[in-house]
Amino acid sequence: MSSPMTGASTPQQPALERQIGPLQATAINMTQMCGIGPFVTIPAMVATFGGPEAMFGWIIGALLALADGLIWAELGAAMPGAGGTYIYLREAFQYRTGRLMPFLFVWSAVLFIPLIMSTGIIGLVQYLGYLIPGVSGDGGNTALGKLIGVGITLVIMAALFRKIGQIGKLTTVLFVVMLVAVFSTIIAAYSHFSAAQAFDFTPGAFGSHGTFWAGLGAGLIIAVYDYLGYNTTAYLGGEMRDPGRTIPRSIVFSILGIMSIYFLLQIGVLGSLPLDEIKASTSVASSVLEQAWGSTAAQIITALIVVAAIGSVFAGLLGGSRVPFEAARDKVFLSVFAKLHPKLNLPTAGVIAMGVITIIGSLFTLTTIINAAVATLVIIQSLAQVAAIVVLRRRQPNLQRPYRQWLYPVPTIVALVGWVYVYYSATWLSIALSLGWIVIGCVAFLVYAKAETTWPFGPKDITETFVDVRGDVTSS
């Protein structure tokens, strides 16, 4: 069913170029992870947990992200191709369900990846409201704000139409802008910092019926949303130099780095602004900056925060656009997604489709999109990859694994428990929508399988692609 995914191609077919090194890879992950996320969700995190105990939500979220990241690290290093999860599910589940699982992933990814990116657009427009009156309001972004969000998304899509080497350099620049914006906010917060205020935990918060445990589920959804992006380099596996080392390192370094930044930022905000002001703010970083350094400095750094948010959406769409590309090359998705730009060697249809869905998602509210996107992601990607690493260890023992998960299977079990809890904590509407989307996807798969005469209407056509390429065993 599959063609080799190690970056080689037939003479008639343009190939993705391996131009991204370790520094650029880590920058891509961290730029995608940070972006606007913590700047717009810190108020929600504090409100959810009920007080300063929200700071521990970031640590618990980081532990889940790290456990899951070690799954991505092993799978990405062993199978470095464009599309990430698509490849892992294709290789793991072909033995029993043919192409069903990779099909369902792509079916869902073209929805949840751009939905997550649309939250970045919603958030950056909120911060534009600090600079441009009338762009955002108490109930969300105004009609003007939504129009500006559409325009920014179109600019990002246009910026993605360039060679991957140029994109890597541009992402590094955006990464630096993100660091300047975040650390400026952190420094401003600690220049007017009250430790007594920051650590004034709600009485009884950590008791058996305390506010911390009551808010943990919803808070973990927010934290997971803010950490998403540590896997972006796995989507770009076909464009990584030395992927066996670059992908695992970029994942681990980015999670640890972002965890430290988020924790410092959360404590700093708690110690510089009153709780009620934090909970009600739509641009909490701007409030911190204005209090510390005045309105002019706040406006300048708020502009950098907006640029960092643009960088996050840019990095997310960069990685996400590669997902349907690999599936289409396998003839598991629409053939138009398999075509590369004749000069730039990028998947044109993937960039355009995900950009359009991002635009649609940006017209809704932030919390609605976060819940819907995370619920869909968990059920078809996160939980499926937990199963995939176990299946591949058993089914393909001779697969070369440049990185093997530390302390296996402990991180895998931690990830399983964490993702089940996150899914259970989502809103019932989000759970229903995610299950409904999967059911529709199963129907679409049956139509596809009937047309292609593949499982369950034909043979499974098992091909151990990455084992074969390395010459370890014969294709089964």
Q: Which residues are CB-neighbours of 339 under 8 A, at least 6 positions away?
A: 347, 348, 349
- Per-residue tokens: 340: 């590369």
Asked whether residue 250 is assigned to any structural domain, the reply reads yes
Asked whether residue 383 is assigned to any structural domain, the reply reads yes
In the block, tokens 């650029």 appear at 24
Q: How many distinct structural domains can be found in the chain?
A: 1
Please tell me the predicted confidence (pLDDT) of residue 220: 94
**Residues 69 and 432: beta-carbon distance below 8 Å:** no
**Residues 389 and 71: beta-carbon distance below 8 Å:** yes
Asked whether residue 125 is assigned to any structural domain, the reply reads yes
- Helix, strand, coil tally for the chain in percent (to 5): 70, 0, 25
pLDDT digits (tens, 9 = 90+) for 135-185: 877 666 788 999 999 999 999 999 888 876 777 777 778 888 888 999 999
Q: Which neighbouring-strand residues pair with 141?
A: 136
Rg, C-alpha atoms of the chain: 22
The parent domain of residue 310 ranges over: 22-469
For residue 281, is pLDDT > 80? yes
Please tell me the predicted confidence (pLDDT) of residue 139: 60
For residues 333 and 455, what is the distance between their CA atoms, to the nearest angstrom? 15
For residues 459 and 276, what is the distance between their CA atoms, to the nearest angstrom? 61
Read off the pLDDT band of 365 (50, 70, 90). Answer: confident
Q: Which residues are CB-neighbours of 187 under 8 A, at least 6 positions away?
A: none
Asked whether residue 9 is assigned to any structural domain, the reply reads no
Asked whether residue 17 is assigned to any structural domain, the reply reads no
Read off the pLDDT band of 340 (50, 70, 90). Answer: confident
Q: Please give, one letter per residue, the 3-state secondary structure of 204-232.
A: CCCCCCCHHHHHHHHHHHHHHHHHCCCCH
In DSSP notation, 88-153 reads: HHHHHHHHHHTTHHHHHHHHHHHHHHHHHHHHHHHHHHHHHHHHSTTSEETTEE-HHHHHHHHHHH
Of 189 and 172, which is predicted with more confidence? 189
For residues 47 and 54, what is the distance between their CA atoms, to the nearest angstrom? 8
CATH number, position 251:
1.20.1740.10
Least confident of 4-18, 81-95, 121-135: 4-18
For residues 352 and 359, what is the distance between their CA atoms, to the nearest angstrom? 11
Please tell me the predicted confidence (pLDDT) of residue 435: 93
pLDDT digits (tens, 9 = 90+) for 435-444: 999 999 999 9
For the segment 343-364, the average pLDDT, to the nearest whole number, is: 90
Query: C-alpha distances in angstroms, 51 versus 212, 252, 276, 403, 444?
Result: 9, 29, 10, 40, 46
Asked whether residue 13 is assigned to any structural domain, the reply reads no
For residues 456 and 380, what is the distance between their CA atoms, to the nearest angstrom? 20
Asked whether residue 189 is assigned to any structural domain, the reply reads yes
pTM listed for this prediction: 0.86
Asked whether residue 7 is assigned to any structural domain, the reply reads no
